[in-house]
Amino acid sequence: MKKLIFTVAVAILSSGVSISAANINNSNHSDEVIVMTINEDFKEVALEDLPEAVGNAILKDYATAVVGKAYVNESEQYKIELTIDETESVVYVDKEGNWLKEGDVVVTE
């Protein structure tokens, strides 16, 4: 009985894999469009050129962080690469020192 259940389970899983593979192969002729937004609008900026409000925000909220690189976009929003306890992070802040979520960053097209 255990062999029968095992055989049925293997047959079901195998057929599922075959169906998935068939769907992947047929998707080459799909009319589906994938849109990917990448924040390519940022240009690297020297750390000493950061606005005072940005520097103060980093010191206040990320006092133990080491700032690696900083970038700015045309909307004067800053992308800051930080290392905190050997963990790399990216944060976004506007020129007034207000923290931004990645979705709030303005991307020009």
pLDDT of residue 93: 96
Write out the chain's pLDDT in tens, 109 residues: 544 444 444 444 444 444 444 444 545 555 565 544 444 589 999 999 999 999 999 999 999 999 999 999 999 999 999 999 999 999 999 999 999 998 888 876 5
How far is 99 from 22, CA to CA, in rounded Å?
A: 46
Start-to-end CA distance of the chain, whole Å, equals 63
> Pseudo-torsion of CA 41, 43, 48, 50, nearest 10°?
-10
Query: What domains can you pick out in the chain, each with its CATH number?
Result: 43-102 (3.10.450)
Query: Taking the model in full, what pTM does it have?
Result: 0.61
